[in-house]
Amino acid sequence: MTVALLVVALSDVLVAALLVRVTAAAADGRLDRNGFAGIRTPATGASDAAWRAGHAAALPTARLVALVFGAGAALGVVLWLLGWPETGFWVAFAPNVLLLLMLWPLLRRANAAARAVSDGVH
């Protein structure tokens, strides 16, 4: 259980960092439209401006997701250190399940902002 907890906690931190870095890079133009990284929907892929606007709109939610992942990882490790490794594992794993729920508002914000740019609404 100890190895599993540490793997999950480390993956939480890596996913959180990657999510925020990629979203921020796309929002400020450091990451161009591509088929590999970023929020790739028809709306965000419509133009460079839509790509940037969609990612800028999604960035606050991405930061919140990262905070949840980081908190889950930290609390999981603390519980492990306090002698509750199984509880620590599930606490560290929980953000992975919550990510599925948190992606919905992230994608809605990104698509709405991208469509507004594509439609000429600012």
Q: Which residues constitute the domain of residue 97? A: 2-118
Q: What's the predicted TM-score (pTM) here?
A: 0.88
**pLDDT given at position 99:** 84
What tens-digit pLDDT sequence spans the chain (122 residues)? 689 988 999 999 999 999 999 999 999 999 999 989 999 999 999 999 999 999 999 999 999 999 999 999 999 999 999 999 999 999 999 998 888 888 899 999 999 999 999 888 65
Domain count of the fold of the chain: 1
SS3 readout for the chain:
CHHHHHHHHHHHHHHHHHHHHHHHHHHCCCCCCCCCCCCCCCCCCCCHHHHHHHHHHHHHHHHHHHHHHHHHHHHHHHHHHCCCHHHHHHHHHHHHHHHHHHHHHHHHHHHHHHHHHHCCCC
